[in-house]
Amino acid sequence: MSYIGAEVIISPLGDTAEENWNALAQNRSGISFVEGAGYAGEGMYLAKMLALNTTRRFENLLVQALTKVSALIDSQIITSTRTIVIISSTKGALDTNIKDQFAGPAAALTQRFKLANQPITVSNACISGVLAINTAGKLVEAGIYEHAIVIGCDVISDFVVNGFQSLFAVSDKPCAPFDNARNGITLGEGCGAVVLSTSKDVFKEAPFQLLAGASANDANHISGPSRTGEGLFRSVNKTLISNKIDTAEIDFICAHGTATIYNDEMESIAFDRLSMSDIPLSSLKGYFGHTLGAAGLIETATSIQMMRNSELVKSLGYSEKGTSKPLNVITVNEKRRLSAVLKTASGFGGGNASLVIRSI
Amino acid sequence: MNFVTGYCRLNEDFCAVNGEVISRRHIDSEDSWFKQIYKEQEFVYPKFYKMDLLSQAGFLGAELIKRGNLRVASSYPDDEIAMIFANGSSSTDTDIRFLRSYEGNSSPSPSLFVYTLPNIVLGEIAILNKWYGENMFAILPNFEPGFFINYLNITKAGGSKAALCGWLEILEGKVDVFLFFVEENEETGTPLNAENLTSLFNQKPSIN
């Protein structure tokens, strides 16, 4: 069994999981209009960490995250030979040095924190975070390591902004996941972290159980979601079956919900096929924007905060049904004990991944 | 127990399958090196021409392994072959091309942008083969057998029966590609362990 906890969130909404939770409970968004941003300098909505005005932003965020993690666990495990650090990111330090996106920052982390094992970086587009947590959980369960620290991070760069603009995938308003008027993503930046361990005792605050799940490819298109939700359907189905969990046990779905027309439609089809349309669901992109490789970490950490606080927060930006299949999108904050939460992700390259967090 | 039952090695000068060179680069050719192989081997998959170099390398390696081991295409259900790929420089080669596309006053190229993620090659191979299995793309400083062996173990525990693994390092003309297929209980193959993987990776191929 693998325990999960020590969650860290660094975003425009705050530097700790608690600060972020407080903002979410008040339905405050980290998205703002950033003057001058965008290919033509036209200005655009971004979830940007305006105070993080440094060079080497990616590396600095990794260091901040690991520093915060070490305060939430028995800090001796950081340097243990039985610990692996897994970094989840799509573009790493591209804005600092396009030719050294990952190796330099990973080496800096190793040196600064005296890590015994070289970190592994998972770079699988938008499913990176969920895939990295699943990898960590399985490495721990298989006894290959005792502890795993997973840090997801991506920063906003001209490169990524220009790219999504060239695909006409960026919303002209703050993104509105699953809503009828949605018209694209809002890019975000930030960092999230969790710790996986075979031992409950390394966590200062009570951990939860990770039920690591499967990934599945759509085998359909490199940059567009499947029309049938095939990969997401298969991923969730396998995750539930392999962990012997019934859909009735899932209290909440923390969906991917990028707010593009096709992604959100695809998710509605997959959840309909899974007979999970009635389960309360939200996308956190209305709060954090789409943080790419950090999204799986930030959103899993937020799901754990929801479980700790026994509260579902509303899916920000949603007001009217906007998918062909119904979804139970959360429209008001609600106090509720949560025993099991499903987190999903889908992304470019046709990837889909899912995991379940359960109360102990 | 796991066995390597097919492998392909591709560098700047040659392409070898299961230890035997099948193609050598002609420096004076008008075609790129990967297109030379594509034509020589008489592949027919027009999408190949749209792919970036990472995806082209993955396509060639996967297809050449399939030709040498018929079980890859015929012996497994559509979700039981995992893909476990890694490299050192992510999609940097294509990242640089995309960056150049919008320098000056030109517009960023969407057809380049979609290849600025290393895992796109997994999507391309999945689409071609209709494989719905598990995917992983990791960034590591060097080819590291231990990563593949550990990840294979946890993937097998999750229900995958075979895996296409790959190290695909492509950056500014440098080509260092090694794909290998792993199956259980196929004792005609090479037992999967760190020593054997390292020696297959470093093997000097013979000329057929």
Q: Do B122 and A142 touch (CB under 8 A)?
A: no
Of A214, A55, A289, A284, the closest CA to residue B135 belongs to: A214
pLDDT digits 0-9 by tens, A228-252: 999 999 999 999 999 999 999 999 9
The Cα–Cα gap between B129 and B91 comes to 22
Does the structure show a pLDDT above 80 at B208? no
Count CA atoms closer than 13 A to A147's CA, side-chain side: 26
> CB burial class (10 A; 0-12, 13-18, 19+) of residue A359?
middle
ipTM: 0.97
A279 touches A293 (CB < 8 A): no
Q: How far is CA B58 from the centre of its chain?
A: 3
A292 touches A154 (CB < 8 A): yes
**Residues facing residue A253 across a β-bridge:** A281, A342
- The residue ranges of DSSP E strands in chain A, in sequence order, are 2-10, 32-34, 44-46, 83-88, 120-122, 147-154, 190-197, 208-211, 215-217, 252-254, 280-282, 311-312, 328-329, 334-335, 340-347, 351-358
The 8 Å CB, 24+ separation contacts for A17-21 are: A17/A301, A17/A302, A17/A304, A17/A305, A20/A302, A20/A305, A21/A302, A21/A305, A21/A309
The Cα–Cα gap between B71 and B90 comes to 30
Which of helix, strand or coil describes residue B170? strand
Q: Do B119 and A124 touch (CB under 8 A)?
A: yes
What is the rounded radius of gyration, in angstroms, for the C-alpha atoms of chain B? 17
Cα–Cα distances in Å, from A208 out to A76, A137, A270, A356? 21, 12, 27, 10
Sign of torsion, CA B140 B144 B150 B151?
A: positive
Closest residue in chain A to residue B152, using alpha carbons only: A139
pLDDT digits 0-9 by tens, A206-224: 999 999 999 999 999 999 9
Give the minimum alpha-carbon distance from A178 to chain B in angstroms, rounded to a whole number: 24
- Written as one string, the DSSP assignment of B8-52 is EEEESSEEEETTEEEEE--TT-SS-HHHHHHHHTT---GGGGGS-
The Cα–Cα gap between A217 and B79 comes to 9
pTM over 0.95: yes
Does the structure show a pLDDT above 90 at A203? yes
Closest residue in chain B to residue A224, using alpha carbons only: B114
> CB burial class (10 A; 0-12, 13-18, 19+) of residue A338?
buried
Q: Do A349 and B147 touch (CB under 8 A)?
A: no
pLDDT digits 0-9 by tens, A272-305: 999 999 999 999 999 999 999 999 999 999 999 9
Mean pLDDT of A191-203: 98
DSSP state of A229: -
Asked if the C-beta of B138 comes within 8 angstroms of chain A's C-beta atoms, the answer is: yes
Q: Do B79 and A234 touch (CB under 8 A)?
A: yes
pLDDT digits 0-9 by tens, A263-276: 999 999 999 999 99
Share of chain A above pLDDT 90, in %: 98
Q: Which residue has the tokens 């904050």?
A: A333
Kindly list the residues from chain A whose CB atom is less than 8 angstroms away from the CB atom of residue B158: 138, 214, 238, 242
Mean pLDDT of chain B: 96
Kindly list the residues from chain A whose CB atom is less than 8 angstroms away from the CB atom of residue B58: none
Of B126, B14, B113, the closest CA to residue B62 belongs to: B126
Cα–Cα distances in Å, from A333 out to A26, A240, A267, A296, A312? 9, 27, 22, 22, 5
Closest residue in chain A to residue B140, using alpha carbons only: A120
- pLDDT-derived band at A53 (thresholds 50, 70, 90) equals confident
Give the helix ranges, DSSP H, for A196-276. 230-242, 261-273
The Cα–Cα gap between A265 and A257 comes to 9
What is the rounded radius of gyration, in angstroms, for the C-alpha atoms of chain A? 18
Which of B93, B97, B139 is the best mutation test for A, with the most CBs of A within 10 A? Answer: B139
Cα–Cα distances in Å, from A159 out to A165, A171, B117? 10, 17, 12
A301 touches A193 (CB < 8 A): yes
pLDDT digits 0-9 by tens, A174-186: 999 999 999 999 9
pLDDT digits 0-9 by tens, A88-129: 999 999 999 999 999 999 999 999 999 999 999 999 999 999
A213 touches A355 (CB < 8 A): yes
Cα–Cα distances in Å, from A267 out to A280, A293, A296, A343, A348? 14, 19, 16, 12, 14
pLDDT in the model for residue A206: 98
The Cα–Cα gap between B104 and B199 comes to 47
Which of helix, strand or coil describes residue A3? strand
Which of B83, B90, B91, B160 is the best mutation test for A, with the most CBs of A within 10 A? Answer: B90
The Cα–Cα gap between A171 and A259 comes to 8
pLDDT digits 0-9 by tens, A59-96: 999 999 999 999 999 999 999 999 999 999 999 999 99
Which of A222, A234, A235 is the best mutation test for B, with the most CBs of B within 10 A? Answer: A222
Kind and range of the H or E run holding B129:
helix B120-129
pLDDT in the model for residue B71: 93
Give the minimum alpha-carbon distance from A93 to chain B in angstroms, rounded to a whole number: 11
A208 touches A307 (CB < 8 A): yes
DSSP state of A221: -
Q: Do B95 and A94 touch (CB under 8 A)?
A: yes
- Written as one string, the DSSP assignment of A294-307 is GHHHHHHHHHHHHH
